[in-house]
Chain A
Amino acid sequence: MQNWPLFEIFLRSKNGLSHKHVGSLHAADADMAITNARDVYTRRKEGVSIWVVESKHITASNPEESESMFDPAEDKVYRHPTFYVLPDELEQM
Chain B
Amino acid sequence: MTEIQSLEKRFQDRIDAEERIEPRDWMPEKYRKTLIRQISQHAHSEVVGMLPEGNWITRAPNLRRKLGLIAKVQDEAGHGLYLYSACETLGISRDEVLDQLHTGKAKYSSIFNYPTLTWADIGAIGWLVDGAAILNQVPLCRCSYGPYARAMVRVCKEESFHQRQGYEIMLTLANGTPEQKEMAQDAINRWWWPSLMMFGPNDSESTHSAQSMAWRIKRFSNDELRQRMVDMIKPQTDILGLTLPDPEIKWNEERGAHDFGEIDWDEFWSVVKGDGPCNKERLAARVKAHEEGQWVRDAALAYAEKQEVRKASDGKTKVA
Contact of A43 among B75, B86, B301, B308 (CB under 8 A): B75
Q: Are B301 and A62 in contact (CB under 8 A)?
A: no
Name the interface residues of B282-320: CB closer than 8 Å to any CB of A. Answer: 297, 300-301, 303-304, 307-308
CB neighbours of A2 from chain B (8 A): 93, 95
Q: Are B75 and A4 in contact (CB under 8 A)?
A: no
- Interface presence of A75 (CB below 8 A): no
- Interface presence of B132 (CB below 8 A): no
Contact of A32 among B75, B81, B300 (CB under 8 A): B300
Given contacts A4-B297, A62-B24, contact A32 B304 (CB under 8 A): yes
Contact of B24 among A26, A32, A39, A63 (CB under 8 A): A63
Name the interface residues of B200-246: CB closer than 8 Å to any CB of A. Answer: none
* Residues of B contacting A: mostly: helix
Name the interface residues of A14-46: CB closer than 8 Å to any CB of B. Answer: 22-26, 28-29, 32, 39-40, 43-44
Q: Are B88 and A64 in contact (CB under 8 A)?
A: no
| Cα–Cα, bound, A4→B95 (Å) | 10
| Cα–Cα, bound, A68→B308 (Å) | 41
Q: Are A40 and B304 in contact (CB under 8 A)?
A: no
| Cα–Cα, bound, A4→B299 (Å) | 11
Q: Are B303 and A1 in contact (CB under 8 A)?
A: no
Q: Are B78 and A40 in contact (CB under 8 A)?
A: yes
- Interface presence of B151 (CB below 8 A): yes
Given contacts A1-B297, A23-B85, A24-B85, contact A63 B75 (CB under 8 A): no
- Interface presence of B37 (CB below 8 A): no
The number of chain A residues with a CB under 8 A from chain B is 21
- Interface presence of B275 (CB below 8 A): no
Name the interface residues of A51-75: CB closer than 8 Å to any CB of B. Answer: 60, 62-64
Q: Are B24 and A60 in contact (CB under 8 A)?
A: yes
Q: Are A40 and B81 in contact (CB under 8 A)?
A: yes
Contact of A28 among B93, B95, B301 (CB under 8 A): B301
Q: Are A28 and B304 in contact (CB under 8 A)?
A: yes
Q: Are A25 and B95 in contact (CB under 8 A)?
A: no
Name the interface residues of B7-30: CB closer than 8 Å to any CB of A. Answer: 22, 24-26
Contact of A25 among B26, B85, B297, B303 (CB under 8 A): B85
CB neighbours of B154 from chain A (8 A): 22-23
CB neighbours of B192 from chain A (8 A): none
- Interface presence of B74 (CB below 8 A): yes
Q: Are A63 and B22 in contact (CB under 8 A)?
A: yes
Given contacts A23-B85, A43-B74, contact A1 B94 (CB under 8 A): yes
- Interface presence of B56 (CB below 8 A): no
CB neighbours of B75 from chain A (8 A): 43
- Interface presence of B82 (CB below 8 A): yes
| Cα–Cα, bound, A25→B95 (Å) | 13
CB neighbours of B184 from chain A (8 A): none
Q: Are A28 and B88 in contact (CB under 8 A)?
A: no
| Cα–Cα, bound, A64→B10 (Å) | 13
| Cα–Cα, bound, A57→B307 (Å) | 19
Binding site for B on A (CB under 8 A): 1-4, 6, 22-26, 28-29, 32, 39-40, 43-44, 60, 62-64
10 tightest CB-CB pairs across the interface, nearest first? A29-B304, A28-B300, A28-B304, A24-B85, A28-B301, A63-B24, A63-B25, A40-B81, A1-B94, A2-B95
Q: Known contacts A2-B93, A64-B26; can you find 9 more A-B pairs with CB under 8 A? A: A2-B95, A4-B297, A23-B82, A23-B86, A25-B81, A40-B82, A43-B71, A62-B24, A63-B22
